[in-house]
Structure 1
Amino acid sequence: MKILHASAEYFPYIKMGGLADMLASLTKEQSKTEEVYVALPLIGKLGKSPHWTGKEFPALLPQDDKIDSLVVSVLKASRFLEAEESGLKLYFFQSDLFQTLDSIYGHKEEHFRFAMFSYACYALSQILKVDVFHAHDWHTALSLALQKDSALPIPTVFTIHNLAYQGDHPFWMTGFLKEEPFRLITSPFDHDGKCNYMKAGILSANQITTVSPGYREETLSEPNGFGLSYCLRQRTLDYSGILNGIDTEEWNPKIDKRIFQTYSFLDWKEGKLKNKRELFQEMGRPSLPLDAPLVGLIGRLTYQKGFPTFLQTFTERRHLPHRYVVLGSGDPEMEDAFFQLSETLPEVFYFYKGYNESLAHKIEAASDFFLMPSLFEPCGLNQMYSHTYGSIPIVSRVGGLRDTVEESNLLKFKTGIVFEPNDTSSLGYALERAKDLFQSQEREIVVKNIMNLDWSWKKRKLEYDLVYTKAIELKI
């Protein structure tokens, strides 16, 4: 089967969140048995230099080449450059729209930029004659509408990674979608008086997936549907929740070259102690106590991730012996709050602003616990990384977190500590339980069990195969 993925992110070239990791690890697994291609933008600052093959492909279909319009002139001046990565082909969309960018999001004219990228991905799927076209999030959703209206439509799958971001723009800004070469009827994409790219993907795809069964259920009603739950309820038979997997070669404490010392479930105590000691040295905090619980937090500092809840809880539970290391960036107020804690309480708190892949691995290896206080979480990957590294997750009971972390007296063993979202009392009690667990013999049982959980892509890849088969058999 020939599969083309279209995405704004792909690790290690462009990474802003879990989408990049998810797609890189999924395609790596798929490429073992399928012919896999990935289309992504070529921005000015990539995380890694591609291995170019020297081949180029047009970003415009031949039948649209003679049209006289601004859109066609932009696409004529653009192209796809082919590269190879771990047994699959990457197609970088080279265009002036993206090449001046040092990051993929947060720029003006995103409505036009990602519309051009979506058309180019649609064109590439037709040129490559793939069997399935798989688009990810709103940035590539218009390619599904183009595919649906094509004379020769290719079966399509649309994956929602985060419904909170929908790519909705005033209709006066998107009038070009009615013109050549798009020729789209945009009125069905109307949501609250705006042209909603995410809605276009939901209405147009043959099959829809999201990244966990729990999040699927949450998005079928408000407020987690973010206004589009009614659209998803119309497509429930075509809507699947498939839990993400992780790259067990990239995230594996037995072979991880980024951490200070490798380890397994057989010697996890010694491994974590060594990694904790060396991390404290690298942080410039060598005097931090090694016998106190270390809690790691990594992620975008946004409202969604529940960091205000954590900050309030931290203030209320100052008596706890926990030390905290935070890696992330985002909301300026959140950054300032973490910076102040790092400066005023250096014996308790350390904050690194930004993102650093190596440091993320070191935090996972050194931490005794890993905190994810999300208000909603489509899937989450760090709780799975934490299991693999023997860092017991402390998570809110939402989305993919409740699908992957369980705490109950009825279970043979717990896989973490669970609390209610946006509830400082519940989170505070969870941190109290973490203190007790850290000091108990049960911790050794829990750590060894979670380090043997299988979060690989093998099973999830088979679930995507079934979705692809449905898309082929049940084309809209």
Structure 2
Amino acid sequence: MKILHASAEYFPYIKMGGLADMLASLTKEQAKTEKVYVALPLIGKLGKTIQFTGKAFPALPPTDAPIDSVVASVLKASRFLEAEEGGVKLYFFESELFQPLDSIYGHAEEHFRFAMFSYACYALSQNLSVDVFHAHDWHTALSLALQKDSVNPIPSVFTIHNLAYQGDHPFWMTGFLKEEPFRLITSPFDHDGKCNYMKAGILSANQITTVSPGYRQETLSEPNGFGLSYCLRQRASDYSGILNGIDTDEWNPEKDKRTFQTYSVKNWKEGKLKNKAELFQEIGRPFLPIDVPLVGLIGRLTHQKGFPTFLQALLERRHLPHRYVVLGSGDPELEKTFFRLSETIPDVFYFYKGYNESLAHKIEAASDFFLMPSLFEPCGLNQMYSHSYGTIPIVSRVGGLRDTVEESNLLKFKTGIVFEPNDAGSLGYALERAKDLFESIDREIVVKNIMNLDWSWKKRKLEYDLIYSKAIELNL
């Protein structure tokens, strides 16, 4: 089977969140048995140097080449450049729209930029004659509408990674979608008076997936449907929740060269103590004790991630012995607050602004607990990384977190600590339980249990195979 994925992110080239890691690890597993291609934008600042093969593909099908329009001229001047990574063929969209960018999101004219990329991905799918076209999030959703309206539609799958971001733009900005070469009827994509790219993907794909069963259920009603739950209910029979997997080579404490010391389930305690001591040295906190709980937090500093709830719980539970290491960037006010805490209580709190892949691995290896206070979380990957590293997750009961972390008196072995979202009291009590667990003999049982969990892609890849088969049947 030939599969083409279209995405704005792909690790290690472009990474802003879990989408990059998810797609890189999924395609790595798929490439063991299928021919896998990935279409990506070529931005000016990439996370890794590309080794191109020398092959190039047009962004506008030859049949559309004679079209004379602004859109067509942009596409004619653009192309896909081929590269290869671990058995996966990568196609980087070389265009004046993306080349000046040093990051993939947060720029003006995104409605036009990602529409052009979507059209180019549609054209590439036709040029490569793939069996399945798999688009990810709103950035590539219009390619699904193009597939649906095509004379030769390719079976399509649309994966929703975060419904909060929908690519909705005023109709006066998207008039070009009615013109050549798009020729789209945009009225079905109307949501609250705007052209909604996410809605276009939901209405157009043969099959829809999201990244956990729990998040699928949450998005079928408001407020977690972010206004589109009615569309998802209409497509409920074609809408599946498939839990993400992780790259067990990339996130493996036994062979992780980014950490200070590798370790396994047999010597996890010694490994964590060594990593903790070295991490404190690296971040300039060598005076901190290593025999108290270290709590790691990594992520975008956004409303979704629930950091204000964490801050309130932290201040209310100052008596706890926990130390905190935070890695992330985003909301300027949260950044200021974290910097202030890092300066005023350096014996308790450390903040690194930005994203550092190596530091993320070191934090996972050194931490005793990993906190995810999300208000909603489509899947989450860090709780699964944490399991692999023997780092006990403390998570809110939402989306993929509730699918992967369980705590109950009825369970023989818990896989983490769970609290109610947006509830500082509940989170505070979870931190209290973390202290008790850290000091208990049960900690060893929990750590060994979670390190033996299997979050690989083997099973989940088979679930996607089934979705692809359904998409092909519906497309006949």
Q: What TM-score does the superposition give when structure 2 sets the normalisation length?
A: 1.00
Provide the rounded CA distance (Å) in 1 between the counterparts of 2:463 and 2:333.
Answer: 41
2:446 maps to which residue? 446
Aligned to 2:146: 146
Provide the residue aligned with 1:181 in structure 2.
181
Shift of 1:83: 0.1
Distance 2:352 2:67 in 1: 51
Give the Cα separation in 2 of the matches to 1:165 and 1:336: 25
Q: Which amino acid aligns with 2:375?
A: L
Which whole-Å CA distance do the structure 1 matches of 2:311 and 2:431 have between them? 13
Give, in whole Å, the separation in 1 of the partners of 2:133 and 2:402.
30
Q: 1:170-211 CA deviation, whole Å, 9 max, x = no partner?
A: 000000000000000000000000000000000000000000
CA deviation digits over 1:224-268, x for unaligned, max 9? 000000000000000000000000000000000000000001000
Paired residue secondary structure (1:291): coil
Is the aligned partner of 1:414 residue 2:390? Answer: no
Aligned mates of 2:302, 2:312 — CA distance in 1:
15
Segments of 4+ moved more than 3 angstroms = none
- Where in structure 2 are the equivalents of 1:331-370 lying within 5 Å? 331-370=331-370
Q: CA deviation at 1:475?
A: 2.0
Q: Name the SS for the 1:73 alignment partner.
A: helix
Q: Alignment length, in residue pairs?
A: 476
Partners of 1:180 and 1:41 lie apart in 2 by 22
Which residue is 2:285 aligned to?
285
> Counterparts of 1:243 and 1:261 in 2: how far apart (Å)?
30
Compute the displacement of 1:159 (Å).
0.1
Aligned mates of 1:261, 1:251 — CA distance in 2: 14
For residues 158 and 143 of structure 1, what CA distance do their matches in structure 2 show? 10
Match of 1:382 in 2: 382
Q: Matches of 2:340 and 2:163 in 1, distance apart?
A: 32
Structure 2 counterpart of 1:475, which letter? N
Q: Which residue of 1 aligns with 2:471?
A: 471
Distance, in Å, in 2 between the alignment partners of 1:396 and 1:101 is 35
1:6 is aligned to 2:6:
yes
- Paired with 1:31 and 1:283, the residues of 2 have a C-alpha distance of 39
Q: Does 1:118 align with 2:118?
A: yes
Pair 1:63-2:63 in alignment: yes
Matches of 1:250 and 1:52, distance apart in 2: 23
Q: Tell me if 1:137 matches 2:137.
A: yes
Could you tell me which residue of structure 1 aligns to residue 99 of structure 2?
99
Query: Does residue 404 in structure 1 map to residue 435 in structure 2?
Result: no
Q: Report the counterpart of residue 35 of structure 2 in structure 1.
A: 35
Alpha-carbon displacement from aligned partner over 1:307-338 (angstroms, at most 9, x marks no partner): 00000111111000000000000000000110
In structure 2, the residue matched to 1:296 is 296
Matches within 5 A, 1:66-77: 66-77=66-77
Distance in 1 (CA, whole Å) between partners of 2:340 and 2:88 is 45
In 2, Cα distance between equivalents of 1:245 and 1:47: 22
Cα distance per residue 1:149-171 (max 9 Å; x no partner): 00000000000000000000000
Offset at residue 409 of structure 1 (A): 1.0
Distance 2:38 2:356 in 1: 24
CA distance in 2, matches of 1:110, 1:407: 42
**Whole-angstrom CA distance in 1 between matches of 2:29 and 2:409:** 35
- Paired with 1:291 and 1:124, the residues of 2 have a C-alpha distance of 55
Alignment match, 2:461: 461
- Partner SS for 2:376: coil
Shift of 1:63: 1.2
Distance 2:90 2:412 in 1: 44
Q: Which amino acid aligns with 1:342?
A: S
The offset of 1:275, in angstroms, is 0.1
Task: Name 2:307's counterpart in structure 1.
Answer: 307
Cα distance between partner residues in 1 of 2:424 and 2:98:
42
Matches of 1:428 and 1:16, distance apart in 2: 29
Secondary structure at 1:97 match in 2: coil
Residues in 1 aligned to 2:259 and 2:183: alpha-carbon distance in whole angstroms: 52
Distance 1:160 1:86 in 2: 25
Query: What does residue 436 of structure 2 align with?
Result: 436
In 1, the alpha carbon distance for the partners of 2:151 and 2:463 equals: 29
Aligned to 1:238: 238
Cα deviation, residue 50, structure 1: 1.4
RMSD, aligned CA:
0.5
Deviations 1:401-448, CA, capped at 9 Å, x for gaps? 000000001112000000000001100000000000000000000000
Find the aligned partners of 2:242 and 2:339 in 1 and give their Cα distance: 37
What is aligned with 2:157? 157
Could you tell me how far apart the structure 2 residues matched to 1:51 and 1:205 are? 33
Q: Does 1:275 align with 2:275?
A: yes
The reply on whether 1:82 has 2:82 as its aligned counterpart is yes
For structure 1, the 5+ residue unaligned runs are none
Letter in 2 for 1:120: A
Match of 1:211 in 2: 211
| Structure 1 residue 382 displacement after superposition | 0.1
Q: Which residue is 1:227 aligned to?
A: 227
SS of 2:98's partner is helix
Quick one: which amino acid aligns to residue 130 of structure 1?
Answer: V
AA of the residue aligned to 1:362:
K
Q: In the alignment, residue 176 of structure 2 is paired with which amino acid?
A: F
Compute the displacement of 1:51 (Å). Answer: 1.8
**Equivalent residue runs for 1:18-57 within 5 Å:** 18-57=18-57
SS in 2 for 1:98: coil
Distance 2:440 2:316 in 1: 24
Give the TM-score of the pair, scaled to structure 1: 1.00
Amino acid in structure 1 at the alignment position of 2:121: C
